[in-house]
Structure 1
Amino acid sequence: MSLAIINIGDSVSGGHDGAPINGDAIVCDLGTIAWIGNTADVDPAEHETVVDAAGSTVLPGLIDSHVHSTFGDYTPRQNTVGFLESYVHGGTTSVISASEVHVPGRPKDVEGVKALAVAANRCYRDYRPGGMRVHAGSIILEPGLTLEDFQEIARLGVWLAKAGFGAFSSPSAYAPVIAAAKAAGIKVMFHTGGGSIPGSLNKITVDALLETRPQISGHCNGGPTALSAEENRRLVTEGHDIALQLVHAGNLRSAIHISELALEQAQFHRIMIATDTPTGTGVIPLGMLREMAELTSLGPLTPRQAVLAATGNVADVYDLNSGKVEVGRDADFVILDAPLGSDADDALGAFAIGDLPGISTVITDGVVRLTKSRNTPTPKRAAKLTHAGAPALTAELVH
C-alpha cells in the first residue's frame, strides 16, 4: 500500500541536528518511507492514500520508552481498558515496556520471569492497539538469572530487561546480572531514585548506576522520587554511556536540572522523554506532549530538541527503525499544528510557549490511524485525507 503526505509545513527529521526534512512531501510504500521530496513531484493518482498536511507540521511518531504494559490494552494498576489506543491520540506511535511488573501475582522465580517476558513479547508481535507498536517483554531481573538464561530468552525474541524490582539485597548486587544481560545483547533499564512499589529497594543511587552500568537510567528525574542535585551532576558527567530518561510522572524540577547539565556537557543525545505510566500517577494520553512542552517552555530544550528526545534519541538508544523521517525507516508520523486560540503560529511554537499542539492525523506503518485526535485541542490547520485507500485500523490484530 502506498501513501503520500503533501504540502508539509515545518517538520523534524529526527536526526541529531533537529533539521527539517529535505522537502515538503513524503511517499511511503509497504510500511516504510520510500521517498522524500517536493509536493510538485507527487502525482496523487499514483497512491492509494494521500494526506494533504495543509501547511501543518510533520514529526516522526513519538516513542514512549517507559510504559508498564501487561497483556492486551489493559492496565491493572489503574483498572483501565484501552489506554494504549488512547495514547495514539496523543501522538505516541510506539511504546517500550519498562517491565510487566504490574501483572497481578507476577512470578519472581527464574523460570517464571523468563516465561512472563517471553509471553508478553509474543503477545504484542501482532497485536497493535490503535496501530501502535508495543515493544513488550522486559524481563524483571531476579537473583539466579545467568548468562545462559539471557541467551535463551534472547533467542526467543526478548531484548529488554528492567532492574530495580527484584529480590536483591542491595543495588550493587545487580551488577553481575546486569553484566550478563548486556553480554546477551539485552538492553537494561535500571529504576532510578526512590522506590515506587512495596518490596522494592528504598533507593537506587547514582553510585549504583555508575557501578552497574545499565544502558538506561529509567526515570532519572524520579519515579516519582528524584536523585539529589549532586547525584544528577555525577550521573551526567560520569555516566556517559547511560541514557538519561526523563519522565512526565517524575520530578519536573529534576528533569529541568538534568537537561541543563546534559546541554552544558554536550550530552543531549542521551536525553529521552517518556511518561513512566501507567503507575500511581495514572494513565496520561498526552504525557509525551506535556513533558515536551514543559521542558521547552520551562526548561532549557528548544522545541526541536524536545522532539528529538521523544523520537530520534530514543531510536538511537534502543536501535529502532522508527523515530526518524528517513528513507527506509518505519512510516510512523504525527501531523499537528498550534491549537486554536494559541498565540503560536505552528506546533513547535506551541511547545515553546507551553501550549499542547493539536493533532489532526496519526500514521503508523504507512496507514492512517486517525484523522482527528479525541484528546488534543483542535489544530489551527488540519491535515485532510484527500484520497482514502484501505480503512484506518484501530485496535485489531495487524499482521
Structure 2
Amino acid sequence: MRVLLANCGAIVSGRLDAPLADGDSILVEDELVREVGFGISPDRADRVIDVRGATVVPGLIDTHSHPVIGDFTPRQNAVGWTARTLNGGVTSLVSAGETHWPGRQKDGAEAAAICAAAFLTSRTRQPGCSRVFGGALLLDRGITEQDLDTLHALGVRRLGEIGLGSEKDVSRIAELVAHAKSLGWVAPLHFGGASVPGSSVVDAGMALRIRPTVISHANGGPTARPVEEAFALIEETEVAIELVFAGNAQVASQIVRKLGERGELHRLQFGTDTPSGTGVVPLALLRTITEAASLGGLDPVQALAIASGVAAARYGLLSPSGNPLGVIEAGAQADLVVLSNPLGSETASAFDAMSNGNVPAVMVVLVDGEIVITRSSVTPPPEHAASLGGLA
C-alpha cells in the first residue's frame, strides 16, 4: 500500500549535517520511503495522511534499554512495555544487556547463551511493538575471545554494559573490550555509581583504562559521577557520550552544553536505561530529548537527528531487509513519527514545545510503512489531529 504524508510543517532528515529535509510530503511504498519532496500528488497514494503542519521525524531509537525476551520485563513484572514505548515515538530499542534474565548466575557460558537467545529471538518485530535489537554480551567470568568470535559469526555486534558483568579484573575486561572493538563491535561502558547489587562503580580513571566506544549514561545510571569526570572523558577521548532518562538531569544539561561548546554534538546519543528500578516509562526518550533542548540549549531539530540517524549509524542498525533506519530519504525503511505541538501549550510547533520543556504530542507512527499508531495513548493530545483519509 502506498501512503502519503502530506502538509508536513517540517521533516527531520536524521542527518546531523543537514537535519531538515526539503519537502512537505513523504511517499511511502512497500515498507520504504520512496520520495521526499514538495507537493507530491495524492493520486500517487492509496491513503493520504494530512498531518496539518506537524513535524515528521524518523522513528526514535533508544540506545540503552534492558529487554529480556518478548514484551515482558521481569525487572518491573510488567507486560506490554515495548508496545507502550511505541506510543512514545520509539520505533527501535537497542539492548545494553539482558541483565534482568530470571535466575541469571553470571557465568560465561550462560552469558553467551543468553546473548545468543536474545539476539535470535528479537530478529522479528512483534506486532504493535517497537523493534528490539537484542543480544548484547555481558562480560561475566569465563567469557573468552572465542565466545566473542562465535557470537560475531551469529550476527551479534554489541557488548552489554561493561561493569554489569561478574568479571571484575580490569585488565581482563580491557583485553575482551579490545577484541570486541577489533571485530567492529560497539562497546558501551557503565559509567557512574553502582546501579544494582553486583554492579560496580566505574569512574573516569577506569574508563580510560578500559577504552570503550560509548560512555553509557554519562549523567549517571542512576547515580552520576562528578561532572568534571564526564568533562575529562569528553576532552581526553573521542568516545560517544550517552545521556539517559534514568540519570541526573542537571549533569545531563551540563554535558550537552559542553559538547555544544566544543562543536562535538555528533558524539551525543540518547537512551533511557529502562526497564530498571526507575520503572517502565513510555515517554522516557522523548522526555530526555526535550530536557536536552530546554535545559541544555540543544536545537530540537539536532536533538531529534541525534536520537534517530546518528544513533542508527553508530550502532549499524538496519531493517531485516537491510534498509537504513533513522533517516527520512528515498530507500530508507519507513519508520516515521509525526510530532505535534501538544494541546494547551503556548507554543506553535513541536520544536517550540521542546525548547520550552514540553513533551510534544505523538500524532501518528508508522513502522515498516505500516500505520501502527493513530492516537498515542501516552503523550498529550495534539493541538490538531491528523486527517487520515480512507483507502483510495
| TM-score bracket for the superposition, by shorter chain length | over 0.9
Q: Is it true that 1:264 corresponds to 2:284 in the alignment?
A: no
Does the CA-based 8 Å contact 1:237-1:265 persist in structure 2? no
| Pairwise CA distance, 1:173 | 3.7
| Pairwise CA distance, 1:122 | 1.1
- In the other structure, the counterpart of 1:168 is 167
Of the three residues 21, 26, 49, the one matched with 2:47 is 49
- In the other structure, the counterpart of 1:159 is 157
- In the other structure, the counterpart of 2:297 is 300
Does the CA-based 8 Å contact 1:331-1:365 persist in structure 2? yes
- In the other structure, the counterpart of 1:36 is 36
For 1:177, the aligned partner's letter is L
- In the other structure, the counterpart of 1:103 is 101
Secondary structure of the residue that 1:336 maps to in structure 2?
strand
- In the other structure, the counterpart of 2:219 is 221
Aligned length: 385
Q: Is it true that 1:289 corresponds to 2:286 in the alignment?
A: yes
| Pairwise CA distance, 1:378 | 0.8
| Pairwise CA distance, 1:50 | 2.4
Q: TM-score, normalised by structure 1?
A: 0.93
Equivalent-residue separation in structure 1 for 2:269 and 2:19 (angstroms):
18
Equivalent-residue separation in structure 1 for 2:132 and 2:168 (angstroms):
32
Does the CA-based 8 Å contact 1:146-1:180 persist in structure 2? no
Q: Is it true that 1:135 corresponds to 2:133 in the alignment?
A: yes
For 1:103, the aligned partner's letter is W
Q: Deviations over 1:241-287 (max 9, x none)?
A: x1111001001111111111111221110111111101011111001
Of the three residues 289, 302, 310, the one matched with 1:313 is 310
Of the three residues 318, 336, 339, the one matched with 1:336 is 339
* Inter-CA distance 180–340: structure 2 relative to 1 (3 Å threshold): same
Does the CA-based 8 Å contact 1:90-1:373 persist in structure 2? yes
> Structure 2 regions of 5+ residues with no counterpart?
318-323
Q: TM-score, normalised by structure 2?
A: 0.94
| Pairwise CA distance, 1:216 | 1.2
* Inter-CA distance 298–72: structure 2 relative to 1 (3 Å threshold): same
Equivalent-residue separation in structure 1 for 2:157 and 2:118 (angstroms):
12
The worse-fitting range, judged by mean Cα deviation, of 94-103 and 295-304 is 295-304
Equivalent-residue separation in structure 2 for 1:316 and 1:293 (angstroms):
22
Secondary structure of the residue that 2:388 maps to in structure 1?
strand
Equivalent-residue separation in structure 2 for 1:243 and 1:326 (angstroms):
25
- In the other structure, the counterpart of 1:196 is 195
Does the CA-based 8 Å contact 1:296-1:303 persist in structure 2? yes
- In the other structure, the counterpart of 1:380 is 383
Give percent identity, aligned residues only. 39
Matches within 5 A, 1:173-184: 173-184=172-183
Q: Is it true that 1:350 corresponds to 2:360 in the alignment?
A: no
Q: Deviations over 1:289-323 (max 9, x none)?
A: 11111111122211112212211221221122211
| Pairwise CA distance, 1:148 | 2.1
| Pairwise CA distance, 1:381 | 2.1
Equivalent-residue separation in structure 1 for 2:222 and 2:78 (angstroms):
21
The worse-fitting range, judged by mean Cα deviation, of 324-333 and 370-379 is 324-333
Equivalent-residue separation in structure 1 for 2:298 and 2:127 (angstroms):
31
For 2:296, the aligned partner's letter is G
Secondary structure of the residue that 2:330 maps to in structure 1?
coil
- In the other structure, the counterpart of 1:16 is 16
Does the CA-based 8 Å contact 1:296-1:302 persist in structure 2? yes
* Inter-CA distance 257–302: structure 2 relative to 1 (3 Å threshold): same
Matches within 5 A, 1:387-398: 387-388=390-391
Q: Is it true that 1:327 corresponds to 2:316 in the alignment?
A: no
- In the other structure, the counterpart of 1:150 is 148
- In the other structure, the counterpart of 1:396 is none
> Structure 1 regions of 5+ residues with no counterpart?
390-399
Matches within 5 A, 1:274-285: 274-285=271-282
| Pairwise CA distance, 1:32 | 1.7
Does the CA-based 8 Å contact 1:69-1:97 persist in structure 2? yes
Does the CA-based 8 Å contact 2:364-2:371 persist in structure 1? yes
The worse-fitting range, judged by mean Cα deviation, of 370-379 and 99-108 is 99-108
Does the CA-based 8 Å contact 1:146-1:177 persist in structure 2? yes
Does the CA-based 8 Å contact 2:109-2:142 persist in structure 1? no
Does the CA-based 8 Å contact 1:68-1:101 persist in structure 2? yes
Does the CA-based 8 Å contact 2:214-2:241 persist in structure 1? yes
| Pairwise CA distance, 1:112 | 1.3
Equivalent-residue separation in structure 1 for 2:127 and 2:221 (angstroms):
26
Q: Structure 1 segments of 4 or more deviating over 4 A?
A: none
Secondary structure of the residue that 2:205 maps to in structure 1?
helix
Does the CA-based 8 Å contact 1:99-1:138 persist in structure 2? yes
Secondary structure of the residue that 1:181 maps to in structure 2?
helix
Secondary structure of the residue that 1:180 maps to in structure 2?
helix
Of the three residues 231, 234, 239, the one matched with 1:233 is 231
The worse-fitting range, judged by mean Cα deviation, of 65-74 and 13-22 is 13-22
For 1:225, the aligned partner's letter is T
